[in-house]
């Protein structure tokens, strides 16, 4: 029976870990105990690492939903490592890491008489996003402009159209006066604003 357990351990454990815990003429119990101690030692270091990552996590360009999911996954992982995060700490970490458009609502939430739970805070932030009409990353529309390499004809007023030969710069708007001469010169050289 011992050989069956040992062969199962050899097949199911990564080679790098086996080289650490493998002992000559070891019984299955000794190998299992070594594996357990190795993972227990890593548990404390992993908990500290996750805790630091959790407290330094910021929203940046993530959506409120994605940001909340990441914070909740940190919370769950820390709970699995027997380092649970208190609800107030989870909410305060969420508020502290918000991006600039949410600073005002974060201040309002922090000053409430009864501190909201994580899900309530998520709902308030989601409503605030809708009120501010903040677009989600990845949902922006883009305008693609291509330029012609042919010389465009000058219009009758003498203003530059902004197109020039061999350049990829398009300067559609040109005001009158001395700026026209400057803009025409820049467009011929491939520069411009």
| Cα–Cα dist 176/169, whole Å | 20
d(C-alpha 76, C-alpha 146), whole Å: 49
CA dihedral for 163, 169, 172, 173, sign (positive or negative): negative
Q: Are residues 63 and 129 both part of a single domain?
A: yes
CA 60/CA 97 separation, integer angstroms? 8
- Please give the pLDDT value at position 94: 95
Residue 105 and residue 153 in one domain: no
Q: How far is CA 82 from CA 36, 40, 108, in A?
A: 16, 12, 32
Q: What distance in Å separates the CA atoms of residue 129 and residue 135, rounded to the nearest whole number? A: 8
CB contact at 8 A, 1 and 8: no
**How far, CA to CA in Å, does 153 sit from each of 171, 176, 190?**
15, 17, 17
Number of domains in the chain: 3
Say whether both 29 and 92 belong to one domain: no
Tokens of 69: 């999911």
Q: Is 132 in the same domain as 154?
A: no
Task: Verify that 43 and 66 share a domain, yes or no.
Answer: no
Q: Say if residues 125 and 105 touch (Cβ distance below 8 Å).
A: yes
Q: Mark whether 65 and 126 lie in a shared domain.
A: yes
* Structure-derived torsion over alpha carbons of residues 106, 70, 56, 136, reported in degrees to the nearest 10: -50
192 in a domain, yes or no?
yes
pLDDT at 80: 87
Decide if 68 is inside a domain.
yes
Tell me, what's the pLDDT at 146? 64
pLDDT number for residue 188: 45
Tell me the CA end-to-end span of the chain in Å, nearest whole number.
79
Same domain, 128 and 149: no
Residues near 119 by beta carbon (within 8 Å), at least 6 away in sequence: none
Helix (H, G, I), strand (E, B) or coil at 106: helix
Whether 134 and 95 map to the same domain: the answer is yes
pLDDT value at position 147? 63
Q: Give me the pLDDT at residue 77, please.
A: 92
Residue 52 lies in a domain: no
Q: What residues make up the domain containing 68?
A: 57-138
Confidence at residue 25, expressed as pLDDT on a 0 to 100 scale: 73
Q: How far is CA 156 from the centre of its chain?
A: 52
Check whether residue 132 and residue 180 sit in a common domain.
no
**In the prediction, which pLDDT does 3 show?**
76
pTM here?
Answer: 0.53
182 alpha carbon, distance to own chain's centre: 43
The tokens describing 179, both together, are 């700026």
Residues 25 and 87 in one domain: no
- Going residue by residue through the chain, which has 193 residues, state the pLDDT in tens, using 9 for 90 and above: 677 887 887 788 888 887 877 777 778 888 888 888 877 777 888 899 999 999 999 999 899 999 999 999 999 999 988 899 999 999 999 999 999 989 999 999 999 888 899 999 999 998 998 888 766 555 555 555 666 555 544 444 445 444 444 444 444 443 444 444 444 444 444 444 4
Residues 157 and 176 in one domain: yes
Is residue 88 domain-shared with residue 101, that is, in the same domain? yes
> Which of 138, 156, 175 lies at the terminal end of a domain, its last residue?
138
CA R_g for the chain: 31
């Amino acid at each position: 029976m011992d050989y069956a357990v040992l062969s199962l351990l050899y097949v199911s454990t990564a080679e790098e870990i086996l080289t650490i815990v493998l002992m000559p003429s070891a019984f299955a119990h000794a190998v299992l105990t070594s594996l357990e101690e190795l993972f227990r030692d890593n548990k404390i270091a992993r908990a500290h690492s996750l805790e630091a990552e959790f407290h330094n996590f910021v929203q940046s360009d993530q959506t409120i939903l994605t940001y909340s999911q990441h914070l909740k996954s940190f919370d769950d992982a820390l709970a699995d490592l027997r380092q649970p995060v208190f609800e107030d700490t989870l909410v305060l970490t969420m508020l502290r890491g918000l991006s600039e458009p949410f600073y005002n609502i974060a201040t309002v939430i922090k000053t409430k008489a009864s501190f909201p739970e994580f899900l309530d805070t998520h709902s308030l932030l989601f409503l605030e996003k809708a009120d501010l009409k903040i677009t989600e990353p990845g949902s922006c529309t883009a305008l693609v402009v291509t330029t012609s390499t042919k010389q465009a004809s000058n219009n009758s007023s003498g203003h530059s159209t902004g197109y020039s030969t061999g350049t990829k710069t398009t300067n559609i708007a040109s005001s009158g006066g001395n700026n026209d001469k400057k803009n025409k010169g820049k467009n011929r050289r491939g520069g411009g604003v």
